[in-house]
Structure 1
């Protein structure tokens, strides 16, 4: 036999299944002073495994539900779930697990948790982790990894998970020590929800989770060096108050940080006391009730005409918890060109990053707003300005043409569901035209009821997000309704998660606004690419109602406007997951629209204005 033939290659399974040092047979004689059997039993009773320490850490933080998919490298952690208080929801795809955890965190305010095995399991989480990072959503991802002595050897299902996710996490960890793994998971959880929220990840090598360690109380503390500033500087608060008092055309811009910082009440008190118009970024929708007089709606690429006019002509912009992304600002040089900007944010890196802050205020949104409200002695004299904003609302109403004998209008579908559901209903969406119609034509009155992919713009987000949102509602003991708006192209990307909704008997309603296009791409192709509709036509999609029935959900198809009311009622009243395939007007577009990089005050109301 050749030397090559006699050499036995060590596999990962060999290492996993090999007896540990404690398990290996011993030929040593037992010494006279060896521990008694009772002493050995006592010693063993203080031992646990790294996997059990992970589960104990999650339980200690108050986690109730996690989302994931089983696999080889993460198997010890799944095994340790047996007998725990944690509820695991098996998803159909790891991307769905990450999106469900993300939505769970948005609705509950607590970090959502997702799990996956090494290699493709971990990489399939990446889209959801990147989405959470862009939107500052609290998520903890736990990934299996090959044993430590195989790391770097291109082992089966090995990926440098910490390397891949370093740019898209708030922090990530390679857990190389069974004694510390519980505290590492606790720290990841604490860091995800502290200060500016965001995703964290712990990579768990299989030998570490299988190893024995001392059974002790896990901790959940942020690193000593992480010390976000919650209390704003007194001088900055005074400067902000004086600036707002002197304003003639003040405008409040609420960003997503208002909701994440639990500052919606402080926002409402400030706006009501001083009678100042308020606009929101898309992640902040619901931070201020949209049915109140001071609400001017969302601003940005598809914001209201009145909101975009207000931000263009205000002389003082009180921006709270926003990062001023390009979809909000359009061209930065034309954004709020006449305004003195007062910018409140808990993350100092966001101050003057995109829009220069004349008055920077670093601190927690709720704390800072309360401090500025207390510091102000008078309200700005802005009666004429408020009248002007009201005139813009009258001049640029959010209306649409809906002939009774014409095709189904997507705006009408959104309004019908809004009317048929409670004020606290949660709305999730995918990404595309349907997302914009949902945010434009639903009247949001409460925070944490709008759940979507904003910064990353991940198609397929809506259905797994609806699952995560409904699980968060369940865990809170509430009965909030969950309505998911999807487009045909977006829905097709994660439709497999419908099997999870059926299995878990989740009472969610999915409204597919089906125009047989990737609609937003088609709209841009028509406007900017001479109507060259390359790869945007989706006439080949399946019959979604029939597909829903195949999964075990209720399926309904709507072809005409007079069928909308009955379909909405039937889907909302159905006790379980339902899918309504609305065949909408394929020519309908989303307006107002600010061309990419354009000036917010020069929005288009039709294609010929672009």
Structure 2
């Protein structure tokens, strides 16, 4: 083989080694060195679109994210592998979205999930829709086929932005590697600003592979997005006068109190003016349920005192509520005697479902504090407070249990509540178990109740427990209440909890039914239990052991307390299969579209 030709080569002269370079040669060498340095500097400033995506996440303080790898998102994962970010590989993309959602709820900042194109992106949709309904901050990053293939029905191509437009606060098709970092930064900023919600960035593979100039990405909301945080002075004054004149005032705290970090302002207002407080389900924990002024949760399965109070109050101070149908029952019968003072940062929610006599647009905490400062006196409502106390005594949350069994699900919830600290985090799936958990656990802190409210997504509980565990303080306990039907929808995520060595406890309230469906079939469909009976269920304790978790089975009430203690003491994921009374139902219950004040305490009253 011949030696390769060298451009500009010459024969060496004998005196080359002794020759001293002249000025011209020195200048040429210096210019070459400068050119080489410039080329090296230019190469150093080059990066890829994928690296810009990861840099944008890092600059926003992201530490943990959840996802499932795939072809179109692979360049982003390649960049993730070169970063210090902790990526949690989930078993299913729906689990990734739910975990990111719960992470955001507990941490108070956007959770991040990733998926590839096509089925990866569509599998995220349930979790994104859940976050949208509950105003939870989530950033979803999805891979997409290269831009030249978009619209050609390429392998694993879907119109991700088109599919997710109805269930995102904003979504983006990132078509330029030079701006993709800014796009991700904007999506992150927007997800947590104002009324939080999910955002999505669709990332074509050629964009994430392409080179771009390295620079710090910006993280700003769009110029057109400018939510009103400080309420108008006239609205504040009108609200203050209305509350001062009330004879039967009631505060209704909604999920916006959690999102707006307004729990302290809410507690100060209610305590100073001695006003009863009810919460919607998303707001559970914003006001301590062991406080004398707490009347509990309002709505379809709310407490008797809360539903009676909202029915008979003459002034309703609603903060951060969207007044969905599960809260109001029939809108025409909701708070029929009340002047409604409605505070919300999203003007679209004001008078959307319930007419606001005094609309106040602004941040929850800012508005509550401003109204409190404007009030010169507390409402004269001694008789009203006595009436509320009477309802508290008349309608306690109770259930009937026998020492010989079967196990009552409410007893299980109470046992876990007794065994854990006040700041323990509870996650749930959706169904009867969700209602028993919220009814019989005493919540005293915000961001400790993590559930799927507006969408009602079965299977939320276990992946949510994973996200909550990674967002929570190390010494906070995490308990997931699930039903047998809900648990089976996302049980594969137990593999993630084991792989990540996460200390979570799952309590399966197993009645071998899709329980809430069975309850409605019994009440409204002549007990025609179609597709709600689980004639066969796996042995959940054995299944847990197969995943590498600790499994327990409980069949008798006498074993509940000791098993709860053992499960909580286990350092790692544990699953307790509680075989509960299959005929137990959730009460109180307001029939769909019914009046809150006419709640049923048994099936015979429906």
**Shared fold (TM-score, shorter chain, > 0.5):** yes
CA-to-aligned-CA distance 1:85-116 (integer Å, 9 cap, x gap) = 21000000000000000000000001000000
Q: CA deviation at 1:82?
A: 2.1
1:556 to 2:555 alignment = no
Please state whether the residue corresponding to 1:469 is helix, strand or coil: helix
1:578 to 2:539 alignment = no
Equivalent residue number for residue 280 of structure 2: 281
Equivalent residue number for residue 488 of structure 1: 484
Q: CA deviation at 1:540?
A: 1.4
Whole-Å separation in 2 of the counterparts to 1:490 and 1:42: 56
Q: Which moved more, 1:534-543 or 1:196-205?
A: 534-543
Equivalent residue number for residue 385 of structure 1: 384
Out of 456, 468, 478, the residue aligned to residue 474 of structure 2 is: 478
Whole-Å separation in 1 of the counterparts to 2:224 and 2:499: 44
Equivalent residue number for residue 254 of structure 1: 253
CA-to-aligned-CA distance 1:584-609 (integer Å, 9 cap, x gap) = 00000000000000000000000000
Whole-Å separation in 2 of the counterparts to 1:77 and 1:170: 23
Q: CA deviation at 1:121?
A: 0.3
Q: CA deviation at 1:406?
A: 2.1
Please state whether the residue corresponding to 1:494 is helix, strand or coil: helix
Equivalent residue number for residue 428 of structure 2: 429
Whole-Å separation in 2 of the counterparts to 1:42 and 1:183: 23
Please state whether the residue corresponding to 1:537 is helix, strand or coil: coil
Equivalent residue number for residue 233 of structure 2: 234
Q: CA deviation at 1:478?
A: 3.3
1:603 to 2:599 alignment = yes
Please state whether the residue corresponding to 1:565 is helix, strand or coil: helix
Whole-Å separation in 1 of the counterparts to 2:36 and 2:537: 68
Equivalent residue number for residue 298 of structure 2: 299
Equivalent residue number for residue 7 of structure 1: none
Whole-Å separation in 2 of the counterparts to 1:478 and 1:263: 24
1:323 to 2:322 alignment = yes
Whole-Å separation in 1 of the counterparts to 2:452 and 2:248: 32
Equivalent residue number for residue 103 of structure 1: 102
Please state whether the residue corresponding to 1:557 is helix, strand or coil: strand
Equivalent residue number for residue 265 of structure 1: 264
Q: CA deviation at 1:83?
A: 2.8
Equivalent residue number for residue 590 of structure 1: 586
CA-to-aligned-CA distance 1:486-522 (integer Å, 9 cap, x gap) = 0000000000000000000100000000000000000
CA-to-aligned-CA distance 1:341-375 (integer Å, 9 cap, x gap) = 00000000000000000000000000000000000
Equivalent residue number for residue 134 of structure 1: 133
Q: CA deviation at 1:136?
A: 0.1
Whole-Å separation in 2 of the counterparts to 1:46 and 1:561: 66
Q: CA deviation at 1:195?
A: 0.1
Whole-Å separation in 1 of the counterparts to 2:429 and 2:420: 20
Out of 504, 510, 518, the residue aligned to residue 506 of structure 2 is: 510
Equivalent residue number for residue 439 of structure 1: 438
Whole-Å separation in 2 of the counterparts to 1:478 and 1:84: 23
Which is greater in Rg? 2
Gapped runs of 5+ residues in structure 1? 1-27
CA-to-aligned-CA distance 1:107-142 (integer Å, 9 cap, x gap) = 000100000000000000000000000000000000
Provide TM-score, normalisation by structure 1: 0.94
Whole-Å separation in 2 of the counterparts to 1:497 and 1:64: 20
Please state whether the residue corresponding to 1:357 is helix, strand or coil: coil
Equivalent residue number for residue 20 of structure 1: none
Whole-Å separation in 1 of the counterparts to 2:113 and 2:154: 24
Q: CA deviation at 1:41?
A: 1.2
Please state whether the residue corresponding to 1:486 is helix, strand or coil: strand
Equivalent residue number for residue 200 of structure 2: 201
Gapped runs of 5+ residues in structure 2? 1-6, 9-27
Equivalent residue number for residue 14 of structure 2: none
1:123 to 2:89 alignment = no
1:566 to 2:565 alignment = no
Please state whether the residue corresponding to 2:604 is helix, strand or coil: helix
Equivalent residue number for residue 157 of structure 1: 156
Whole-Å separation in 2 of the counterparts to 1:570 and 1:478: 19
**Root-mean-square deviation (CA), in Å?**
1.2
Whole-Å separation in 2 of the counterparts to 1:413 and 1:260: 30
Whole-Å separation in 2 of the counterparts to 1:61 and 1:527: 50
Q: CA deviation at 1:84?
A: 1.2
1:217 to 2:216 alignment = yes
Whole-Å separation in 1 of the counterparts to 2:405 and 2:47: 67
Please state whether the residue corresponding to 1:204 is helix, strand or coil: strand
Q: CA deviation at 1:39?
A: 1.9
Please state whether the residue corresponding to 2:386 is helix, strand or coil: helix
Equivalent residue number for residue 535 of structure 1: 531
CA-to-aligned-CA distance 1:19-74 (integer Å, 9 cap, x gap) = xxxxxxxxx99xx9998332211111111100000000000000000000000000
For 1:4-153, what aligned pairs fall within 5 Å after superposition?
A: 36-153=35-152
Whole-Å separation in 1 of the counterparts to 2:158 and 2:386: 59
1:409 to 2:405 alignment = no
